[in-house]
Structure 1
């Protein structure tokens, strides 16, 4: 049994982690939907496999119907459990070194742990938004 002071990251083994992935459709309008993935083995799952798992969920889950036309090609860490969150509600515009560009790297080696939050998006749209980070409501 876990002690009352155990962190949520310590309550599940790295072989059965829970990840939250923000599937981002549009940066200026902040259109995104969360995909919660359970029982992810961070020691064997690669960045490329995670992308494939997310794409499969988008194709098969009804709630992601409007996200199927987006060319999702990049994953970036948003925050790890108990870490500082960005002021931007949709993506962390700082720390471009958090972009997981090595598709063969395991998630554990990329610094992911239980309750890590990630963003999955189109890199070209991200670069355009980062150059002019203005949100829209119209």
Structure 2
């Protein structure tokens, strides 16, 4: 790898864009994207990122239908240019992509520039995982 490529990779980690797939309902596939730009993935922790996404949902216009959901979990959905799951709102195939340690940085949990992350209620996710039936097709 050339030094220019390494510098570009480092810059992408320090000024990244992450799309957060805010999930209201798994069976009805209700979700809305929240795009967060200018993130330093090497310093922002999972806990800080969750708090930022939660705050944006609570304060930005257009998010009123999502304000009655208790968002408490995140999971990596896909990375840029990576393969996507067949499920339209969350990756059910990779339990190891769940963000379980709020003290880790986004880079440590596998986030890169243009990564997509799902943000949801963990109890609703576990219920859907046990019986993944879609009620709206």
Question: Structure 1 length as normaliser, TM-score?
Answer: 0.90
- How many residue pairs get aligned? The number is 131
Q: CA deviation at 1:137?
A: 2.5
- Residue 31 (structure 1) aligned with residue 2 (structure 2): no
Q: Deviations over 1:87-116 (max 9, x none)?
A: 000100011110011000000111100000
Aligned to 2:56, what secondary structure does the other structure show? Answer: helix
Q: State the alpha-carbon separation in 2 of the partners of residues 52 and 20 from structure 1.
A: 15
Structure 1 residue runs without a partner (length 5+): 1-5
Counterpart of 2:45?
46
Compute the RMSD of aligned alpha carbons: 1.7
Q: Conserved in 2, the CA contact under 8 Å of 1:12 and 1:114?
A: no
Q: State the alpha-carbon separation in 2 of the partners of residues 11 and 62 from structure 1.
A: 33
Aligned to 1:104, what secondary structure does the other structure show? Answer: coil
Q: Deviations over 1:21-57 (max 9, x none)?
A: 0000000000000000000110000000000000110
Q: CA separation of 1:11/1:87 partners in 2, compared to 1, >3 Å: closer, same or farther?
A: farther
Q: State the alpha-carbon separation in 2 of the partners of residues 78 and 11 from structure 1.
A: 22
Q: State the alpha-carbon separation in 2 of the partners of residues 92 and 113 from structure 1.
A: 17
Counterpart of 2:14?
15
Counterpart of 1:84?
83
Structure 2 residue runs without a partner (length 5+): none
Question: Structure 2 length as normaliser, TM-score?
Answer: 0.91
Counterpart of 1:3?
none
Q: Conserved in 1, the CA contact under 8 Å of 2:26 and 2:124?
A: yes
Q: Conserved in 1, the CA contact under 8 Å of 2:18 and 2:117?
A: yes
